[in-house]
Amino acid sequence: MKCILDLDKEQLRHYLATTQQPPYRWQQIWHGLYVSYFQSWQEFSNLSQDLRKELEQDFSILPFTQISEVRSDDGLTHKVLFQLSNKNPIETVLMQYDQRISVCISSQSGCPIGCEFCATGKMGLKQNLSSGEIIAQILYFSRMLKEQDLEITNIVMMGMGEPFLNYSEVQNALERLNDHEGINIGARRITLSTIGIPSQILQFAIDFPQTNLAVSLHAPTNHQREQLIPINKKYPIEEILKAVREYIHITNRRVTFEYVMINAFNDNHEDALLLAELLQNMLCHVNLIPMNNTTAFSGLPSPIDRIQAFQKVLTNHHIPTTIRFSKGTQIQAGCGQLAGRLS
Ligand code: SAH
Ligand code: SF4
């Protein structure tokens, strides 16, 4: 059955026209879905019983079922595993700290890129998610938070998958998340993270100049990056950075680079100098992320003193940095730990 969340406004209006409904009905449905967060057609009390029945026959509201969930002991991280009707998994993480309520959403079930250090990559690609399946992850938590009078403040597309390999659905989802008549989360409070696909970075600059971009760099040379990220052979560092410079030129926005720190692999003094050189005079910020352990990868996280020494080199070159310890690693909810199962 089709999911109503996969329809944009135009498609919903078109559907209603075919059922001889007055044009304003689309707004009632839209409001019910994206402002009231209804999850069954029976909750739409302002629609006639007949129309509710018809909608019920034609569309589902929930595109997946929640299989299980796990909360960290401090209660700040909450990971949920959903399952699509074909049993493919989706994981979503809610994080409540630093005065923010952020949701980390997935754009694919699994990921085809296969980065060595990433549990999602090791699953391979199960499928692309539709825009409705992406949005439903947000609606799930919006419903839950509403009961406590709370609202999502930030969205990061950093869960499972590479969003630029599923761009048209991601694009539809971002438009819907941003919609003033619906979910209404400001573009500046949304961040998309990519492994770095140059043509898509440029397209994103044109389509979403206000949405934040994070690029997963992780190494200062192609030789090192290729060992971690197979697609670097196709899209080497210099092409990614050329696209990022163009992105900054178009949007005038600061780009975040993510750099997973792996002991004695990419955290040497020489690596820091090379990275500083690459990013010189760029409107950017570097997040240094101690690698989270995943079962498939033999590398170890850098110890804090090496991370701090690395950071110092960047600071001396006037490159702003933050050391980011992933939250939720205790429940395997940290970056790169989403493996489609709850452990
Ligand atoms: N595919 C996109 C978005 C999802 S991954 C991307 O790669 O950017 C989100 C972030 O988690 C990326 O920066 C990724 O490099 C990071 N990540 C993956 N595995 C990790 C690990 N084991 N430890 C820390 N961060 C990891
Ligand atoms: Fe895919 Fe990102 Fe994981 Fe690489 S780090 S395998 S691109 S999800």
* 275, 278, 282, 283: CA torsion to nearest 10: -40
Residues 21 and 168 in one domain: no
CB of 336 closer than 6 angstroms to any ligand 1 atom: yes
91 is catalytic: yes
Rounded CA-CA distance 80/198 in Å is 32
Last residue of a domain, one of 36, 60, 84: 60
Quick one: angle between helices 131-146 and 167-178, nearest 10?
A: 30
- CATH number at 27 reads 1.10.150.530
pTM: 0.96
Which ligand 2 atom is at minimum distance from the Cα of 114? 6
Å from CA of 121 to ligand 2 middle: 5
SS (H, E, C) 226-265: HHHCHHHHCCCHHHHHHHHHHHHHHHCCCEEEEEEEECCC
Are 109 and 7 contained in the same domain? Answer: no
Residue 216 and residue 72 share a domain: yes
- Looking at the structure, tell me whether residues 43 and 154 fall in a common domain: no
Catalytic residue among 91, 133, 169, 258: 91
Could you tell me if 176 and 320 lie in one domain? yes
Rounded distance from Cα 88 to ligand 2 centre (Å)? 17
The CA-based angle 62-111-141, given to 5 degrees, is 30
Please report which ligand is nearest the Cα atom of 301.
1
State the pLDDT confidence band at 342, using cuts at 50, 70 and 90: low
Yes or no: say if 142 and 102 are a contact pair by the CB < 8 Å rule. no
- Confirm whether 35 is domain-assigned: yes
> Residue 332's pLDDT is what?
75
- What's the CA gap between 200 and 215, in Å, rounded? 12
Domain count of the fold of the chain: 2
343 pLDDT above the threshold of 70: no
pLDDT, tens only, 247-257: 999 999 999 99
Q: 7 is in which domain, residue-wise? A: 2-60
Residue 297 inside a domain? The answer is yes
- Which band of pLDDT confidence, cut at 50, 70 and 90, is reported for residue 339? confident
